[in-house]
Amino acid sequence: MVLQAPLSRRLIGFVMAGGRSTRMGTDKALLPWEGTTLLDHAITRLLAVTADVRILCGPTPRYADRNRPLVVDLEGETDGAGPLAGLAAGLASAGDAPGVYLGVDLPGVSVELLSALASIDDGDAVVPVTEDGPEPLCAVYRAACSAPRSSAW
């Protein structure tokens, strides 16, 4: 794999690793993957796109040993919210900077795809769509996604 120079200093990478892994029975972020863990693999992918990579760790701080900033879920946003709690915490952490979000359990996502998503400046969210449908845990979200908008349907 050829690592590319970071695209933007304003872009923030977020590894979504806050799940409870209840179906797995063990922390899936720490599962082995190609000589490392799923968490370390995701961090490496995002570091190829931006130098600012943070870990969305859920309601309690964990993974401090990875020497990356940890972002905990916002108070009151965790009960049953799933990945949306992590997304909300990431948006709050990012301020006005766009964030590229990568689910820890998506090891097949390439640096090229992450770079391509991050390079698209149109829209509040850039979500790839596969033959299986949208993949919202491999996407770019901007600050506008953090507040509901009224709509004149």
Res 66: pLDDT: 97
Res 44: pLDDT: 98
pTM: 0.88
Res 106: pLDDT: 96
Res 71: pLDDT: 97
Nearest CA-CA partner of 3 in 52, 54, 49: 49
Of residues 15 and 26, more confidently modeled:
15
Q: What residues does 134 pair with on adjacent strands?
A: 129
Reported as a pLDDT band with limits 50, 70 and 90, residue 148 is: low
Span 101-114, pLDDT tens digits: 999 999 999 999 99
Percent of the chain exceeding pLDDT 70 equals 86
Confidence check: pLDDT of 52 > 70? yes
Q: In the chain, what are the domain boundaries? A: 12-146
Residue partners of 1: CB distance under 8 A and separation at least 6: 48, 111
Reported as a pLDDT band with limits 50, 70 and 90, residue 2 is: very low
Cα separation, 44 vs 37, in Å, equals: 11
Q: Would you state the structure tokens that stand for residue 116, as one six-digit string?
A: 């391509």
Tokens 């970071």 belong to residue: 6
What does the DSSP assignment read for the chain?
-PPPPPS-SS-EEEEE-----TTTSS-GGGSEETTEEHHHHHHHHHHTT-S-EEEEEESS---GGG-S-EEEPPTT--TTTTHHHHHHHHHHHHTTS-EEEEETT-TT--HHHHHHHHH--SSSEE--EETTEE-TTEEEE-GGGGS------
Reported as a pLDDT band with limits 50, 70 and 90, residue 135 is: very high
Res 75: pLDDT: 73
| Superfamily classification of domain 12-146 | Spore Coat Polysaccharide Biosynthesis Protein SpsA; Chain A (3.90.550.10)
Res 36: pLDDT: 96
